[in-house]
């Protein structure tokens, strides 16, 4: 029983759990879990980092990703079904929660701006993210998918691409 995660009342793509509720320790790891240290995480073939926040790879986590204060959770079994830019977006969104707390729009905006700045997100990738979220009706923390898409499009437009162009590094 993964008691440390069972409280998770998280919601579609990246709910931010109650700070302190998730007291995860390496000793608690189930066989389907692995803790990845900061700087060691690969997402879609790219090293992704979120300051000093480690990532718990949990193959049976109920959603694509989640976050608590000081921990990012990813489910590799779910992420593998997504296009690369969407996988990177999920991680960057959870990282956005480390910086901006529970705000979903701010986590989304952070993810898109970071993606454009770092060169892993172009317009096509943004459309893939929008497709991914399109069917999400929204809930008490998440605006409906199409609204999130519009917000992210604005964030994208506010950001300068890397000098070599948004596709330069894949």
CB distance 84 to 59 below 8 Å: no
CB distance 67 to 54 below 8 Å: no
CB of 2 to Zn ion, least distance (A): 21
Mark 69-88 with x for binding to Zn ion (rule: CB under 5 A) and - for no binding. --------------------
* Stretch of residues binding Zn ion (CB under 5 A), selected from 9-17, 35-43, 149-157, 162-170: 9-17
Q: Which two tokens stand for residue 31?
A: 């066989």
Q: What is the footprint of Zn ion within residues 147-166 (CB under 5 A)?
A: none
* Stretch of residues binding Zn ion (CB under 5 A), selected from 8-16, 20-28, 128-136, 148-156: 8-16
> For 68, left (φ over 0), alpha (ψ -120 to 50), or beta?
beta
CB of 132 to Zn ion, least distance (A): 13
Residue nearer to Zn ion on the CB measure, 14 or 125: 14
Pairing of strands 65-68, 41-43: unpaired
If one asks whether residue 107 binds Zn ion (CB under 5 A), the answer comes out as yes
Of 42, 35, 137, 33, residue with least CA distance to 80: 42
Question: Angle 103-107-111 (CA atoms, 0-180°, nearest 5)?
Answer: 170
If one asks whether residue 14 binds Zn ion (CB under 5 A), the answer comes out as yes
Residue nearer to Zn ion on the CB measure, 109 or 121: 109
Question: Which residues contact Zn ion by CB under 5 A?
Answer: 14, 104, 107
């Amino acid at each position: 029983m993964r008691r440390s995660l069972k409280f998770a009342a998280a919601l579609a793509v990246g709910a931010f759990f109650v700070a302190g509720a998730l007291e995860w320790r390496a000793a608690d790891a189930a066989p389907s879990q692995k803790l990845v240290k900061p700087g060691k995480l690969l997402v879609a073939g790219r090293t992704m980092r979120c300051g000093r926040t480690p990532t718990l790879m949990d193959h049976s986590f109920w959603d694509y990703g989640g976050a608590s204060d000081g921990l990012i959770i990813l489910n590799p079994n779910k992420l593998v079904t997504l296009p690369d830019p969407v996988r990177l977006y999920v991680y960057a969104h959870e990282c956005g929660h480390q910086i901006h707390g529970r705000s979903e729009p701010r986590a989304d905006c952070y993810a898109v701006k970071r993606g454009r700045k770092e060169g892993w997100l172009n317009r096509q990738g943004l459309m893939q993210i929008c497709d991914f979220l399109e069917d999400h009706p929204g809930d008490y923390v998440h605006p409906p998918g199409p609204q999130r898409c519009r917000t992210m499009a604005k964030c994208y437009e506010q950001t300068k691409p890397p000098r070599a162009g948004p596709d330069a590094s894949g």
